[in-house]
Structure 1
Amino acid sequence: MSANVDGLPNTIIVTAKTSLIDRLKAKLCEYCGATNDLEMHHVRKLKDLKGRQPWEKLMIARRRKTLAVCHSCHQKIHHGKMD
């Protein structure tokens, strides 16, 4: 019987960014923090964003084409009423 004293523990270091599914599972609007029904707002290209609206700045800062938002925020984004 030999003891494995010099063996390294089996550890996994995850350095990946949060996935789309993880962001939806969080059930938290990434804009206002609401916890009701989430939807994904999606843009085709980040370079299409002008950075004038706060939600655009948030997407540019995160370098993501998607934003998990509540239904209310999603409607405001599409109707241009997001402050």
Structure 2
Amino acid sequence: MVPTPRKELIHRLRTRRCELCGQCGTVAVHQVAKLAHLGTPGPGQPAWAAFMARKRRKTLVVCQPCHEVIHATPVTHAA
């Protein structure tokens, strides 16, 4: 049996490092359904949404405090 390569998300999770603040420890995945849900770039876009849009990722590996900030600052002008 040939081993299949791990998905990129698995590699990101295994580092156990928050992609927003860099803190090591327990992490969770924040996910959006579509990149369009991140809103338009500009001053009204939260920093976490801008980071996801810049990386063109629908997932973000974050620590609990950063995950709470994400849910406290939702995108208000999504397409």
Higher relative contact order (CA 8 A, sep 6+): 2
Unpaired segments ≥5 residues, structure 1? 1-17
Q: Which runs of 4+ in 1 moved over 2 A?
A: none
Q: Which of 1 and 2 has greater Rg?
A: 1
Q: Which residue of structure 2 aligns with residue 45 of structure 1?
A: 34
- Equivalent residues in 2 for 1:3-82, closer than 5 Å: 19-50=8-39, 51=41, 52-80=45-73
TM superposition score normalised by structure 2: 0.75
Task: Determine what percentage of the aligned residue pairs are the same residue.
Answer: 41
Does the 8 Å CA contact 2:35/2:58 hold for their aligned counterparts? yes
Aligned partners of 2:73, 2:50: CA distance in 1, in Å? 15
Please identify which structure carries the higher helix content: 2
State the superposition RMSD in angstroms: 1.5
What is the count of residue pairs matched by the alignment?
64
TM superposition score normalised by structure 1: 0.72
